[in-house]
A and B are shown apart, each in its own frame.
Chain A
Amino acid sequence: MENIVLKVKDFSAYYGDKKIVKNINLVIKKNKVTSIMGPSGCGKTTFIRCINRMHEVNVDARITGKIFLHDNNICEMDPIIVRRKIGMVFQRPNPFPNMSIYDNVIAGYKLNGIKLKREEFDEIVEDSLKKAGLWYEVKSDLYRRSTFLSGGQQQRLCIARSLAMKPDILLLDEPTSALDPIATKHIEKLIEALKENVTIIIVTHNLAQAGRVSDYVAFMYLGELIEFGKAEKIFTAPEKKETEKFLIGKIG
């Protein structure tokens, strides 16, 4: 039995009275890429934001059900710790503009007041930037402001920043929708390499991308989890009608 990293049980999410995510049950396997796909408004972004408790930023948000990270209920854990173990990269690259590339990568440590020796920080920076495929492009410019980087490079910097916290899971919320095709390709290649180090959950509305990068696919529609399975199976012979309709373009 492959390692299970995340277990979602009877999970629902509400904004006020509106039920956005309806009763999801699924399991995320370690070191695999799981895509959550579906038409706009199906609840996939809301769902993924609950996994690292980002929904709590919104006052109206409420959840029921349980999510277990390695057998620990994330709602019973300190949200700060949850977010360090489950990192997130957003749709629009958002490196901290007032910080250098170096400081951006270790921002998670610095902003939390975690003090390490200079050599330890150097190592973390190099390791994270290498894993994000950005090291060789910026290693001579580490102390420059991050705003000088291109969109694709900024996004890889954000990935490095999340990786620096050594998370168990990396959540990617439509990470390439603001990028050009070449930058998108880089990130997709990166995802392939990254899964050796970290489990990846990616939300995408781009079918072709889901096909290219995923090991497992979850299809959501109108807040519900319609189907979940291996990518080859879902893309060649899905079991549910709605999945089929979505894949051939009839919905969404």
Chain B
Amino acid sequence: MDKKIIFRIFKDKLFKFIVICTSGLVLIPLVFIILYIIKNGISVINLEFLFTLPKPIGEAGGGIIHSLTGTFILIILASLFSIPLGIGAGIYAVEHKKSKVAKIIIFSVEILQGIPSIVIGIIGYMWLVKPIGQFSALSGGITLGIMMLPIVIKATEETLKLIPFSLKEAAIALGVPYYKAILKVILPSAKSGIITGILVGIARISGETAPLLFTAFGNNFLNFNIFKPIDALPLLIFNYATSPYKEWHKIAWGASFVIVILILVLNISTRLVVKKWRT
């Protein structure tokens, strides 16, 4: 009897050890990458870097403020596009889940999520850049929005599905009209799940480069006109890292560091949102 138990305990501990080792193995490259970025990027970061425009080649100094503002503007445009559309589609898919339209929505979401970002970029070029006649922040924003859309729809749908039917029942039994019940009772309960979906979507699109190549195109100057081309952090990294200039490589590292921090902040916010509204 004793022998069997000892063997079982050994098997248990061995399994635990293997699991810890494999987790460690996965973590190592991750930690390595982040540390490398931090090492190379942090020396570049200073107020000038964050708040000024780039200097001509050869001159030291300069900054990435055009890319920072570009990224933020693109995120806002993408959100304005995908959030109302996404939440609306998500609500429809759940409320009328037996209808053909709902089934099409869910099917489209699955497909959209699988399309490579560069393909979406090309579509954005054909549908948005060509008609307007030039590259623009608007086309970049909408293209990113198309990528964010399925995430928001999915998050809305999944969260709404988790909300017990009894809540809607209670509202209806009080004489509240159907869609008011959805807007004023169900959606507020679904707040945390939907916001999480939005934050995840934003984290996803803030690092996308390929679609922006064909739509926003890039800009060396500060731009607040959405009908003109605009720069973004990933675009900057792409252009500067592949250039022959050493100073530009350093700037690319700095920008990479900024992106990593941005995504870190988004992830932590997601976690806090979930925590706060779980109670």
In the complex, A touching B, CB below 8 Å? Answer: yes
**In the complex, chain A residues whose CB is within 8 Å of the CB of B185:** 96, 111
Contact with B along A105-140 (1 / 0, CB 8 A): 001100111000000000000000000000000000
Q: What's the minimum C-beta distance from A170 to chain B, rounded to whole angstroms?
A: 11
Contact present for B189 and A97 (CB under 8 Å): yes
Contact present for A54 and B175 (CB under 8 Å): no
Contact with A along B157-195 (1 / 0, CB 8 A): 000000010111111111111001100110011000000
Q: Does A182 reach chain B (CB closer than 8 Å)?
A: no
**In the complex, chain A residues whose CB is within 8 Å of the CB of B188:** 98
Contact present for B166 and A94 (CB under 8 Å): yes
Contact present for A94 and B174 (CB under 8 Å): no
With beta carbons under 8 angstroms apart, the residue of A52, A112, A113, A158 that contacts B170 is: A158
Cα distance A90–B176 when bound, in Å? Answer: 16
Contact with B along A74-116 (1 / 0, CB 8 A): 0000011111100110101011111000000001100111000
Q: Does A29 reach chain B (CB closer than 8 Å)?
A: no
With beta carbons under 8 angstroms apart, the residue of B167, B168, B176, B189 that contacts A108 is: B176
Contact present for A112 and B166 (CB under 8 Å): no
With beta carbons under 8 angstroms apart, the residue of A80, A82, A108 that contacts B177 is: A80
CB-CB nearest 3 A-B residue pairs: A83-B175, A108-B174, A84-B175
Q: Which residues of B are in contact with A by a Cβ distance under 8 Å? A: 164, 166-177, 180-181, 184-185, 188-189
Q: Which residues of A are in contact with B by a Cβ distance under 8 Å? A: 52, 54, 57, 79-84, 87-88, 90, 92, 94-98, 107-108, 111-113, 158, 161-162, 165
Q: Can you pick out 11 interface pairs between chain A and chain B where the beta carbons lie within 8 Å of each other?
A: A83-B172, A84-B175, A87-B173, A96-B170, A96-B185, A97-B189, A111-B171, A112-B174, A112-B177, A161-B170, A162-B173
Having A111-B181, A162-B173, one finds 18 other A-B pairs with CB under 8 Å, namely: A79-B175, A80-B175, A82-B175, A83-B173, A83-B175, A84-B175, A92-B166, A94-B164, A94-B166, A94-B170, A98-B188, A107-B171, A108-B175, A108-B176, A113-B180, A161-B174, A165-B174, A165-B175
